[in-house]
């Protein structure tokens, strides 16, 4: 297999897309008001992958690539790239004539600085995405050569403006990037320039007149509004005060209602890079969930369809493996695994428990535990309440405990003071980026959030994970991940519940907002509003 890839085809595709767009006579001008919720802590997307930052920052910062809805690479700051035969050198040809919002020219030095000094050091996922990058050479202003220790095919999926924003070296050099003014006063190369952030109300971005894509963006201005209450967000959408709300800004129940109204639409596009998965984490070091059987029983007793239908109002897909079915495109997903019923199988669950010798006491209770869950909204609370009811018939009695974010994070990831925890993770475009962190022994990192809090440790699995990360051959890789999924379907340190489908609700007047795989985290340069 030849790993040398030119992106001519991709370029071509992009050109076509652009051509197709211009055929329908976009209207230039106008202001897009969209929902950003919650209010972001800062706009430092190079420091934080916090969701609301993602809704704003990628409009300001470009990445080397963008991705279309089929996850094909679309050139952005990099016009093309080339991977050496051994996969250890990746050369990017950068776009010429791009300037930062402050007028300074964009060069390969910015790319080198961003990856080596910023993303690899302070970005939450950067150290993982760029872990194989040893150095970056800049033979000229518009060429950046990444020297890798091992091949890292997944890296090319992590180069979007959301995941790996390219930041201005001249504004950050010599400072601690974590303490820089750039966090609240961002300067990028993107389609929109930062203008104003009124705390508690909105963040306003104005059109970048010198944007490197000719004639873009169409909009004069985009304004991200912060509206704390979900019902009010819906009302604002209905009243056309906002035109776009993604990542569950509009609760599913209202999205369903708006979908059936004139003038509004709902889409699940724009989340394929995120690949969110709802799941249960167990504390595998403590009774009762230290036994695989009881974890399997939990998986068997939960009615995934019910959760999707009644709490997420039909948006979602029952999980059938440790990996999302979205990985079937790359052949990594394995179907037909046991212990992932779409509908509850109480009998099977009880049988598993009985077989493992976990018997009921006089009250019919086999185990008692406290259920924690991610404090990110009402839906999760409903899920917790549902689980309490769903596990009662198999003799697992749950008490619910809802805490605020810091308490919960500390409990689960710092103190390991939990038993069963409902959560969701982004599996991201490659398992190495989003899935490995759950299971590897090296990911038992006390005090670090969203890693292996189950403290599940299996040397056999560790070896497979290591192999899978580096394996370049698709077939072999698929086989390795197959084995991984089989082991996990038995041991179940984490029970995947369902593949989440985030919803974007938008006003029908808003056009071309879903042209990127990044969706709401995309650059929005081609968005326009119909008169």
Partner 1 sequence: MAFWKLFARNRGAVIGLVILVLITVMAATAGLFFPQDPFSLAGQPMSPPGENGFLLGSDSLGRDVAAGIAHGAKTSLLIGLLATLVAVFVGIVMGALAGYYGGFIDNLLMRLTEMFQTIPSFIFAILLVAIMKPSIESIVIAIAVVSWPAVARLVRGEFLSLRNREFVQACHTLGMSDLRIMLGEILPNCLSPVIVIGSLMVATAILIESGLAFLGLGDPNIMSWGFQIGAGRTLLRSAWWVCTFPGIAILLTVLAINLVGEGMNDALNPRLRERS
Partner 2 sequence: MRYVVKRLLQAIPIVLAIIILNFFLLQLAEGDAVDVLAGEAGSATPEYMAELRAKFGLDKPLPVQLAIYLKNVMVLDLGYSFRHEMPVSELIFDRLFATVLLMTSTILLAVGFGVLLGLVAAMGLNTWRDTAISIFALITYATPLFWVGLMLIVVFSLNLGWFPTSGMENFAMFYEGWDRVKDIAHHLVLPTITLSLFYLALYTRLMRASMLEQAGQDYVTTARAKGVTENRIMFVHVLRNALLPVVTMAGVQVGALIGGSVIVESVFAWPGLGMLAFEALFSRDLNLLLGIFFLSALLVVAVNLVVDIVYSSLDPRIEVD
Binding at 386: pick from partner 2, partner 1, none (beta carbon under 5-8 Å per type):
partner 1
Binding at 201: pick from partner 1, partner 2, none (beta carbon under 5-8 Å per type):
partner 2
Which residues form the interface with partner 2 (CB under 8 A)?
Answer: 31, 33, 38-39, 41-42, 47-50, 122, 124-125, 178-179, 183-184, 198-202, 204, 223, 225-229, 231-232, 235-236, 238-239, 241, 403-411, 414, 437, 445-451
- Residue 178 CA to residue 119 CA, distance in Å, equals 11
Q: What length is written for the chain? A: 531
- What is the closest distance, in whole angstroms, from the C-beta atom of residue 56 to partner 1 in the complex? 25
Handedness of CA 455, 461, 465, 467 (dihedral sign): positive
- Of 279, 452, 472, 310, residue with least CA distance to 382: 310
Binding at 399: pick from partner 1, partner 2, none (beta carbon under 5-8 Å per type):
partner 1
Instruction: Give the CA distances from residue 266 to residues 70, 321, 327, 351, 520, in Å, rounded to whole numbers and listed in that order.
Output: 19, 27, 24, 42, 13
- What is the closest distance, in whole angstroms, from the C-beta atom of residue 380 to partner 2 in the complex? 15
Asked whether the bond before 217 is cis by omega within 30 degrees of 0, the reply is yes
The gap from C-alpha 440 to its chain's centroid, in whole angstroms, comes to: 20
Binding at 483: pick from partner 1, partner 2, none (beta carbon under 5-8 Å per type):
none
Examine residue 493 and tell whether it contacts partner 1 (CB under 8 A): no
- If binding means CB under 8 A, how many residues of this protein chain bind partner 1? 26
Binding at 42: pick from partner 2, partner 1, none (beta carbon under 5-8 Å per type):
partner 2
Examine residue 232 and tell whether it contacts partner 1 (CB under 8 A): no
Examine residue 12 and tell whether it contacts partner 1 (CB under 8 A): no
Binding at 447: pick from partner 2, partner 1, none (beta carbon under 5-8 Å per type):
partner 2
Q: Which of residues 393-432 bind partner 1 (CB under 8 A)?
A: 399-404, 407
- Residue 376 CA to residue 357 CA, distance in Å, equals 36
Q: Which of residues 345-384 bind partner 1 (CB under 8 A)?
A: 375, 378, 381-382, 384
- Residue 326 CA to residue 309 CA, distance in Å, equals 20
Please state at what angle helix 252-259 crosses helix 230-238, rounded to 10 degrees: 20
- What is the closest distance, in whole angstroms, from the C-beta atom of residue 388 to partner 1 in the complex? 7
Handedness of CA 440, 444, 448, 451 (dihedral sign): positive
CB 35 within 8 A of CB 225: yes
Residues that bind partner 1 in the complex, under the rule CB under 8 A: 230-231, 234, 251, 253-254, 256-257, 310-311, 375, 378, 381-382, 384-386, 388-389, 399-404, 407
């Amino acid at each position: 297999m030849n790993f040398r890839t030119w992106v001519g085809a991709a370029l071509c595709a992009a050109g076509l897309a652009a051509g197709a767009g211009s055929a329908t006579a976009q209207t230039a001008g106008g202001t897009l008001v969209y929902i950003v919720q919650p209010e972001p802590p800062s706009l430092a997307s190079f420091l934080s992958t916090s969701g609301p930052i993602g809704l704003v920052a990628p409009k300001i910062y470009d990445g080397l690539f963008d991705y279309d809805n089929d996850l094909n690479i679309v050139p952005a700051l990099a016009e093309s790239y080339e991977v050496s035969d051994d996969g250890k050198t990746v050369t990017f040809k950068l776009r010429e004539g791009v300037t930062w919002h402050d007028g300074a020219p964009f060069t390969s030095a910015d790319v080198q600085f961003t990856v080596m000094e910023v993303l690899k050091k302070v970005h939450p996922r950067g150290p993982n995405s760029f872990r194989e990058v040893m150095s970056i050479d800049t033979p000229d202003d518009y060429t950046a050569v990444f020297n890798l220790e091992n091949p890292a095919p997944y890296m090319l999926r992590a180069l979007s403006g959301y995941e790996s924003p390219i930041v201005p070296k001249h504004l950050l050099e010599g400072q601690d990037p974590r303490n820089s003014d750039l966090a609240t006063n961002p300067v990028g190369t993107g389609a929109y320039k930062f203008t104003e952030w009124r705390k508690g109300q909105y963040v306003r971005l104005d059109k970048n007149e010198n944007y490197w894509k000719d004639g873009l963006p169409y909009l004069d201005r985009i304004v991200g509004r912060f509206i704390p209450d979900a019902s009010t967000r819906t009302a604002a959408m209905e009243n056309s005060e906002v035109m776009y709300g993604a990542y569950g800004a509009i609760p599913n129940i209202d999205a369903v209602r708006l979908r059936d109204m004139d003038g509004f639409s709902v889409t699940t596009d724009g989340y394929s890079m995120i690949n969110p998965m709802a799941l249960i984490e167990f504390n595998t070091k403590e009774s009762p969930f230290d036994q695989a059987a009881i974890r399997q029983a939990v998986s068997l007793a939960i009615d995934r369809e019910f959760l999707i239908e009644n709490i997420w109002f039909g948006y979602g897909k029952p999980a059938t493996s440790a990996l999302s079915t979205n990985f079937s495109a790359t052949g990594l997903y394995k179907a037909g695994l046991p212990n992932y019923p779409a509908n509850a199988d109480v009998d099977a669950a009880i049988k598993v428990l009985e077989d493992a010798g976990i018997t009921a006491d006089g009250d019919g209770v086999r185990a008692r535990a406290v259920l924690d869950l991610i404090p990110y909204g009402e839906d999760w609370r409903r899920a917790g309440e549902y689980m309490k009811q769903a596990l009662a018939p198999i003799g697992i009695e749950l008490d619910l405990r809802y805490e605020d974010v810091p308490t919960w994070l500390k409990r689960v990831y710092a103190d390991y003071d939990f038993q069963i925890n409902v959560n969701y993770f982004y599996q991201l475009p490659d398992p190495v980026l989003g899935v490995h962190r759950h299971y590897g022994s090296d990911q038992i990192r006390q005090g670090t959030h969203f890693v292996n809090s189950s403290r599940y440790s299996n040397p056999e699995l560790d070896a497979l994970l290591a192999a899978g990360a580096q394996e370049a051959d698709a077939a072999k890789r698929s086989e390795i991940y197959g084995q991984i999924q089989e082991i996990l379907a038995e041991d179940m340190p984490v029970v995947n519940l369902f593949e989440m489908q985030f919803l974007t609700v938008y006003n029908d007047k808003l056009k071309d907002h879903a042209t990127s795989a990044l969706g709401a985290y995309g650059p929005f340069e081609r968005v326009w509003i119909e008169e």
